[in-house]
Structure 1
Amino acid sequence: MYLFTVPNMTCGGCAKSVVKALQSVDADATIETNPPKREVRIQTSADEEALREILSEAGYPAEDKAAA
């Protein structure tokens, strides 16, 4: 489980873009977004660096947050 803070995710549309980007790395990932808190929780077997990279490419770079 990863927990990322994504400062650029400010609305539902942003959250959909974040989910789509993350699913391109792992289509089976369980993803929960919380735009008001700008948080994303991801249950995945994918590598953290791959997740961070795809978020940056999508325009939603993640800040450091402790993995759960």
Structure 2
Amino acid sequence: MTRFEYQIQSYPLNQKASLAQMQDDLNLRGEQGWELVSVIPATFAHTGHTALFKRVLAAPDDGGSGL
């Protein structure tokens, strides 16, 4: 069964460069295997955009011999 881990990140939009910083962070997370699954717009999350990410967890090592 595929298992996932999740991250939630807020991006304050109070600076001119904040969208560029958000894009840089999204690209970095993508390189780390995170998939952006949803964004809550700043109109609902009063602190800025909130992004929800997920990525597949590695299969747990069952300690078996592999035979």
> Normalising TM by the smaller chain, what interval?
0.3 to 0.5
More helix by share: 1
TM-score normalised according to structure 1 size: 0.41
Q: TM-score, normalised by structure 2?
A: 0.41
Q: Which has the higher strand share?
A: 2
Bigger radius of gyration = 2
